Structure formats: C-alpha cells, structure tokens
Chain A
Amino acid sequence: MPLLLAQPGELNKIMAVRGGGETKRFLESMGFVEGAEITVVSEFDGNLIVNVKDARVALSKVMAGKIMI
C-alpha cells in the first residue's frame, strides 16, 4: 500500500519506489530505497514527515503516494 495510508508511529518497510526515472532516483538519493525502514512521524493535511534511515524528511502528498510499503 502507499505510504499515505501508514499509521503515524508505525514501523514500515519500503517495498518499492514508483514514479520512474528522475523522481525515483531523486527519492532514492534522499534515502527512500527498497528495504529501508520508514516511520511516519507526523501528518499535516496529507503531507508527511517521515523518519527514514534516521533522517527526518518532509514529503508532499504526491511524493508520499509514490512510495509503497
């Protein structure tokens, strides 16, 4: 399921990163790779703050929809 549906505070594993080419590579360079553990810290109006690889990253709703857990 997409990251958008994750419960805040719950530990998840990234199964796949969608979005093709540029977007996928960008997300990967920020640490969103297959197998990485990811936790949603906070949700605000669809945008998310996540903890991935011990870094805090803010993501828009569109981008969060491309990450599958």
Chain B
Amino acid sequence: MGIPVAIAMNMMDIVRKNGDHLDIERLTKELGCTIVETSALRGEGTRNAAEAAIAAASGSAPKYLRFSDEVEAALKAIKKEAGNKIAGPSERFLAVKIFERDAKIMAALNFTEQEKQRLDEIVTMCEEQLDDDSESIITNERYNYIAELKAAAVVKGQTGLTTSDKIDRIVTNRFLALPIFAAVMFLVYYIAIDSLGTIVTDFTNDTLFGEWIQPWVQEQLEAAGTEDWLVSLVVDGIIGGIGAPIGFAPQMAIVFLLLSFLEDCGYMARVAFIMDRFFRQFGMSGKSFIPLLMSSGCGVPGIMASRTIENEKDRRLTIMTTTFIPCSAKLPVIALLSGAIMGGEWYMAPLMYFVGFFAVVTSCIILKKSELFAGDPAPFVMELPPYHFPAAKNLFLHTWERVAGFLKKAGTVIFLCCVAMWFLASFGMVEGSLELVEETEQSFMAVIGNGLAPIFAPLGFATWQAVAAAFSGFVAKEAIVSTMAILVGLAEATEEEPDLWQAVMAMFPNAVAAFTFLVFNLLDSPCLAAISTMGQEMNSKKWTIATILFQNLYAYSVCLVMYQLGRVFVGGEAFDAGTAVAVALLVGFVYLLLRPAKKGSKNVLSVEA
C-alpha cells in the first residue's frame, strides 16, 4: 500500500527453543524493512518493536514483491487503464486488488462500465495464460516467494514431528481423545466445584460474611443508634443480598483460572476438533463447544467466545443456546433447591448440566429445521496453535478480567436489585399509608407476586414468593437465592442451611413443583449482563428479542410438560385439562424434533479467518 513497515518477529522464544535459526540480516535485505525479534508471551523486545515502528514511519516503503512476468504485464496494463483513479503511493496495491477482482475495492473506485469491461479483459487474459483464477494466482505466487525466502533465511534445528505434534498424536488419538477429554473435564470440575471450590466458598459465605462482616456491621449500626429500618436495609437487604453472589466469586475465579489454562496452552482448540463430528450430528460445529464450556463458568464470556465462529448462522445458533448450560451463578440456586427437595443429593448438579445440555441439543435440532437456520454447519477448518505452557501473568489477567466483570455486576445490578427487592418485601400499603410491614404477606412483593402467579400456575409454582424469586432471576440468577432468603426472613442464611431449605420448600405445593421451578430458572432467559452481551454480539435488536422470546418460550413449555406429567405420574394425581395440554405440547415438541429439515442455501465459508 506504499506505507513504511517495521516487522516484529514474534515467538522468537519458541524458535530458539526448537533450535531453529533465522537469518534476520538476510530477511531485512530481502524485504527492505527493519525486523525486530520479540516474544509477546514473555514481553521481550516489545519496546524495541515500538521504537522501530516510530523510526520506520519517517522512512520509505519496503520493496514490493515481484510477481511472474505474465502477472507483472497484466498489472502494468491495469495501471495504464485505471490511470488517475489509482495513482499515488497505493497504486501497486490497488492494481493487485483490481487483478484479484476484489469487490470492495472495485466498488470504491467508481469505474465506468466500459473501464470495468476492459479491466476484466486484462485479468481474464492472464487467467487463461496461467490456467487459474486471478486470486489463486496471487496467493500461489506469494507462497512461492515465501518458500524461496524461507529456504534462504531459515535453518530448521530439527525435522520431523515437533513436540506439539507428538502431544497431538496422543491427545487427539482416535481411542484416547475422549477418555483424556473426560478426565480433564472431571479434574477441572473436581477442583473448582468439589474440593478447592467448596473450601473457598464456605470460607467467604460462612466465616467472612456470616461471622465477621454481618454481625460486626449490625453491632456498629445498633451501637450508633441507627433506626431499625436502616439496619434492616443494610444488614438483611444489602449485605445479605450481595453476600451470596460475592460468596461464590472465588469459586468462579478457580473455574476461569482452569479454563484459561486450557485455552492458553492450546488444548481448547483441540477439544473443538475432537467434538466437531459429534456436534455436527445436531447441526453445530465443533467451534460451538468452546462457548458452551465457557458458559459453565459464566454466560458472558461464553457468548463472547462465539466470536471465533465465522459462519453467521452457526454463531447465532450458539449464542441462542449457550446460556442453557448452568453457569456458576446458577449453582447456588441448584444447591438451594436440591437441598429443599431432597436434602442436597450430590447428583442434582450433574443432572442439571445434563438438562442444560439436553436443552442445547434439542433447541439446535428444532431451530436448524426452521428456514432461518437451515443448511449444514460450515465445514471445519481451524488453525491450531502449538502447545505451550501459559505464562502465569496472562492466566491471571484473563481470570481477573472475567471475575472483575462479574464483581462489577454484583456491585451494580445485583446491588440495586437487592435494594429494590428488600424495599418491595419490607414495605406495603397498610390502611392506605406506606408502612414498614411486619408480615411479608402485606408487602408490595406479595401484591406483585400474586398478580403474576396465574402465569406460573400451570408450572406448579403459584405462590407469590416463588414467583417473586423467579422474577428477580431475570435480573441475575444468583438473586434468586438472596430473594428467597429475604422473603423467609433468613437473609444471612446461605444455600447450604437446612433452615432455609425447609422455609423454601414451604413455597411449593410439592417436590415436582420445586423441581420444575429449578428447571425453569435454568432454562429461561439469562441475567441482564448476559442479555446485554447477547445484544452486542448479535448486533441486532430483532435477533436479541427473538432469542429472549425463544428461551422463555422453550423454558415455559418444557416446564409445563414436566410439571403436568410429573404431577400425574410421580404425584399420583388424576388426569385433567392440564395433562392434556402437556401431552399436546409433548407431541408438538417431538414433531418439531423429527420433522424433515427445510432445505436451505448451502453455507459458504467466509475468507476472513
């Protein structure tokens, strides 16, 4: 483009480690620009590179690559034909782009029909001479030049399989790949959720908040003679409310530390490769697996991770379904409800991951059969980074970014939500005046909850407390636990406490209803933070609204079927109209899953990768 260039030769640490040698002097001479050795991973040479760029800025443009005589002749003819329209320092760049028939450049240059036709003739003639299309000619010539340059300036220290290849032969081996993957995942969740995770969560919830902060603040406020309602707001509403989400931030940090490790060392890209064939069966590509995995930590980075999917349909499908996977904010909800239903059986959490995955698979199959998503997922082509041990600094940076995003949410959205929920639950209209109510039954929350209850009655949770909790779940899933705790007057209780379990169970008519409530909160639209991320990534209001509607409709239908059938088959109640509706919905669901697919346009790859 006629712009001065300085080159930063990155990953030199790996070049040295492999015993390879680069003849930088020779490269500098051939390319005609400054070359600086760097290693971004270790932060070596970055300053030199910046200085070289500044120095180069006042210099001249590097030498251009000379193509074969046929192409050079064509470029010369193009320059002559296009004349003034491409004159200037970028002349050669523009001529090459015209030769490649680049649609954007051609549109920007405003050629007349006549000029376009003559330019096309020049290109077509060259294509016939070399028997290939013009873009491939340029690509091939560039690769030839690179090969020549490489032969002259690069000495490989070792030949044959690199260490990375040797690892790949084991890790992506057709027999070992899945067992290794299962073992890695088990280890991640064992560390993050079962062993280390529980210890840090218990410490922050029980000791830090339960024994130190909350009683201390209460004492201080009471000693200072603060009014009762203010003590209640600060201790029950704010600390009790935010304590729950902040309590599992350390656990979330561990999940993300481990996932960042898998991502940075290069294993995540291999997982996409391993899962590709399996995901293809229900219309997704292996690249969708990384967002799903990320979503098990938090939906926000999960949705963002879908950026690596080039194909638009595949990307939208992934964004729409990825938040069905239980994120770490849903774990306290699962713990609370499983405690309430059956005293906290261990298999509840794995079961919920399965329900989430089932929702992803079935909605993909259903959506793929609609006209909007029809067509095979884009063929899988992905460059795999070589394996390397991640730098600690990058790992902590990645983890911190994600946890900080979450803490910010806890400090703003959840904080406001807690205050609002506390207000609605503590105040009410008594005999025409606004008052601090003794019984939550008289509060605003009860009024709103009762108003919305009929909508949720078919799903089994028609009490105003449950409705209010689900309602706060639309803001943030972890708020469900704090809302329930506020409503039963056990604000300082955590999801592990049997007292709270009993009080929560009293909100539901039976165990099936409590279970349905849990599933509904797992599958409905995600928290506000995830929805706003969805809006950014979809970059379309229409799609964002469609996604929210789809998720809630899906959650509502699945839960209706679950409750109405569960009531009859587990609870032993009689068949009624509700059962009939559930059966009809189930038949419709199966039809949507099994109906023949609409034929869609064949997906093509984008060349941006």
A49 touching B384, Cβ below 8 Å: yes
With A29-B607, A44-B172 already in contact, the answer to whether A58 and B277 are too (CB < 8 A) is no
For chain B, residues 156 to 204, give those with C-beta under 8 angstroms from any C-beta of chain A.
Answer: 161, 164-165, 168-169, 172-174, 177
Which residues of chain A come closer than 8 Å to B605, judged between CB atoms?
Answer: 22-23, 26
The smallest beta-carbon distance between A16 and chain B, in angstroms, is: 11
Residue of B165, B177, B269 touching A58 (CB-CB under 8 A): B269
B172 touching A29, Cβ below 8 Å: no
A60 within 8 A of B: yes
The smallest beta-carbon distance between B96 and chain A, in angstroms, is: 15
Segment among B135-143, B217-225, B578-586 that sits at the interface with chain A: B135-143
A44 touching B384, Cβ below 8 Å: no
Which residues of chain A come closer than 8 Å to B143, judged between CB atoms?
Answer: 31, 33, 36, 53
Which residues of chain A come closer than 8 Å to B604, judged between CB atoms?
Answer: 22-23
Produce 1/0 per residue, A24-37, CB < 8 A to B.
Answer: 11111111011010
Q: Which residues of A contact B (CB under 8 A)?
A: 8-9, 21-31, 33-34, 36, 41-47, 49, 51, 53, 55-63
In the assembled complex, the Cα of A27 lies from the Cα of B133 at a distance in Å of 14
For the complex, count residues of B whose C-beta is within 8 A of A: 36
Number of A-B pairs whose CB atoms are under 8 Å?
A: 101
B274 within 8 A of A: yes
B609 touching A26, Cβ below 8 Å: yes
The smallest beta-carbon distance between A5 and chain B, in angstroms, is: 16
Chain A, Cβ-Cβ closest to B310: A26
Q: List 23 A-B contacts (CB under 8 A).
A: A22-B604, A22-B605, A23-B605, A28-B139, A30-B381, A31-B143, A33-B140, A34-B140, A41-B161, A41-B169, A41-B172, A44-B173, A44-B277, A47-B277, A49-B168, A49-B273, A53-B143, A56-B168, A56-B386, A58-B270, A58-B273, A58-B383, A63-B380
A25 touching B140, Cβ below 8 Å: no
Residue of B139, B274, B383 touching A57 (CB-CB under 8 A): B383
With A22-B605, A30-B381, A42-B173 already in contact, the answer to whether A60 and B276 are too (CB < 8 A) is yes
In the assembled complex, the Cα of A24 lies from the Cα of B161 at a distance in Å of 27
With A22-B604, A41-B165, A42-B168 already in contact, the answer to whether A58 and B139 are too (CB < 8 A) is no
B19 within 8 A of A: no
Which residues of chain A come closer than 8 Å to B169, judged between CB atoms?
Answer: 8, 41-42
In the assembled complex, the Cα of A46 lies from the Cα of B177 at a distance in Å of 13
Which residues of chain A come closer than 8 Å to B165, judged between CB atoms?
Answer: 41, 51, 56
A58 touching B174, Cβ below 8 Å: no
Which residues of chain B come closer than 8 Å to A57, judged between CB atoms?
Answer: 381-384
A47 touching B273, Cβ below 8 Å: yes
Which residues of chain A come closer than 8 Å to B135, judged between CB atoms?
Answer: 25, 28
Which residues of chain B come closer than 8 Å to A41, judged between CB atoms?
Answer: 161, 165, 168-169, 172
A27 touching B140, Cβ below 8 Å: no
Chain A, Cβ-Cβ closest to B278: A45
With A22-B607, A33-B139, A33-B143 already in contact, the answer to whether A55 and B172 are too (CB < 8 A) is no
In the assembled complex, the Cα of A12 lies from the Cα of B383 at a distance in Å of 19
Which residues of chain A come closer than 8 Å to B273, judged between CB atoms?
Answer: 44, 47, 49, 58
In the assembled complex, the Cα of A51 lies from the Cα of B165 at a distance in Å of 9
Which residues of chain A come closer than 8 Å to B161, judged between CB atoms?
Answer: 9, 41
In the assembled complex, the Cα of A8 lies from the Cα of B276 at a distance in Å of 20
Main secondary structure, interface of A, reads mixed
B164 touching A56, Cβ below 8 Å: yes
B2 within 8 A of A: no
The smallest beta-carbon distance between A10 and chain B, in angstroms, is: 12
In the assembled complex, the Cα of A11 lies from the Cα of B165 at a distance in Å of 14
**A-B pairs with lowest CB-CB distance, top 3:** A60-B380, A56-B384, A58-B273
In the assembled complex, the Cα of A51 lies from the Cα of B168 at a distance in Å of 11
The smallest beta-carbon distance between A38 and chain B, in angstroms, is: 13
In the assembled complex, the Cα of A6 lies from the Cα of B566 at a distance in Å of 54
B277 touching A25, Cβ below 8 Å: no
The smallest beta-carbon distance between B167 and chain A, in angstroms, is: 10
B380 touching A58, Cβ below 8 Å: yes
For chain B, residues 371 to 398, give those with C-beta under 8 angstroms from any C-beta of chain A.
Answer: 379-386
In the assembled complex, the Cα of A68 lies from the Cα of B381 at a distance in Å of 16
The smallest beta-carbon distance between A41 and chain B, in angstroms, is: 5
With A25-B135, A25-B607, A33-B140 already in contact, the answer to whether A44 and B177 are too (CB < 8 A) is yes
Which residues of chain A come closer than 8 Å to B168, judged between CB atoms?
Answer: 41-42, 49, 56
The smallest beta-carbon distance between B232 and chain A, in angstroms, is: 58
B272 within 8 A of A: yes
The smallest beta-carbon distance between B414 and chain A, in angstroms, is: 40
In the assembled complex, the Cα of A56 lies from the Cα of B359 at a distance in Å of 34
Which residues of chain A come closer than 8 Å to B380, judged between CB atoms?
Answer: 47, 58-60, 63
With A42-B168, A42-B172, A56-B164 already in contact, the answer to whether A26 and B383 are too (CB < 8 A) is no
In the assembled complex, the Cα of A25 lies from the Cα of B276 at a distance in Å of 23
Residue of B136, B382, B609 touching A28 (CB-CB under 8 A): B136
Produce 1/0 per residue, B587-608, CB < 8 A to A.
Answer: 0000000000000000011110
In the assembled complex, the Cα of A22 lies from the Cα of B276 at a distance in Å of 22
Chain B, Cβ-Cβ closest to A17: B136
Residue of A22, A33, A36, A56 touching B383 (CB-CB under 8 A): A56
Which residues of chain A come closer than 8 Å to B276, judged between CB atoms?
Answer: 47, 58, 60
In the assembled complex, the Cα of A55 lies from the Cα of B280 at a distance in Å of 25
Which residues of chain A come closer than 8 Å to B386, judged between CB atoms?
Answer: 56
